[in-house]
Copies of this chain bind each other. A is one copy, B any other.
Amino acid sequence: MSNLAERCRELAASAMKDGIANAALEVLRQYGYTGMTMERVADSAGVSKGSLYNYFRNKEELISFVFERIVEPAVQESQRIMAQPLGAVQKLEAMLRMLLEYFSQHRSLFDFLFHDAAIRELCMNSRRTKHDLATSQFESILRQGMQEGVFRPHEAKLAAEMLFGAVMFLIERQLELGERRPPEELVRHLLDVFLHGIRFSPSFPAGAE
C-alpha cells in the first residue's frame, strides 16, 4: 500500500518538527523565554504561524518538544558514560565534566529548563524528569563506588541530590556572575570537596588531593 508514502510523510514531518524546534531554540537564545512567541518561532523557522500548529498541537507541546531536544544529548551522553567500564570516581568525574561543559554553553536554555513550575510539570515524561534522571545516575555511581569499596557507606540518594544541586548551582552562578572558570577546574574542586570533605581529619594526609 502507501507504505512508502507513509514513510516519506513521517520523515518529512519529523524533519519539520526538528526545524521548528531549532528555530524555537534560536528564538529562546535571542529573546529569552518570555520573548518566545509563536510568531517569532514561525519567522525564525521560515514557515507561517499556522504551520506550527500542523506539527504541534499548541505552544505547550512545542515547548515540551524543545525541552526534550535540549536535554536529549546530555541524556545520551550520560548514558554512554554510565555504560562505560569505569570506576566510580572516573564515572563521577566524567559525568560532572559533561554536565558542566554541556550546560555552560547556553544561558537561555538553562533558564528555559528551570523557568517555571508550570513548565516543569509540562516537561515531565512519564515521571522521569531531567532531575530524576540525573540524580538517579549519580546515585548509581555512588552505589557503584560503595560496592567497589572506594566510597564509604552513605545515603546515596541524598548525596546524589547534593551533587547535582551543587553542579547546577555552580553553572548558574558562573553564568550569573559572568565568570568563566574552565570546567576542568570546577570538576576538580567538586571532586575535592565531595570526595574528601572540607574538614581536617587527624589522619588526613596534608596536601593530599
Contact = CB atoms under 8 A, between A and B. Distances in A.
Interface in A162-209: 162-170, 172-173, 176, 186, 189-190, 192-201, 203-206, 208-209
Nearest to A92: B198
A34 interface: yes
Contact of A162 (B108, B111, B118, B193): B193
Contact of A176 (B131, B192, B204, B209): B131
A133 to B, nearest CB: 13
Contact of A114 (B32, B115, B190, B204): B115
A147 to B, nearest CB: 12
Interface residues of A, number: 59
Interface stretch (A15-23, A74-82, A150-158): A150-158
A169 B176 contact: no
Contacts of A131: 173, 176
B159 A165 contact: no
A163 B162 CA distance: 8
Interface string A97-124: 0000000000110010011111010000
A157 B176 CA distance: 14
A142 interface: yes
Given A34-B116, A145-B198, A195-B197, 9 more contacts: A145-B199, A150-B200, A152-B198, A152-B200, A154-B198, A158-B186, A162-B193, A165-B170, A196-B201
Interface of A: 32-35, 89, 107-108, 111, 114-118, 120, 131, 135, 142, 145, 149-155, 158-159, 161-170, 172-173, 176, 186, 189-190, 192-201, 203-206, 208-209
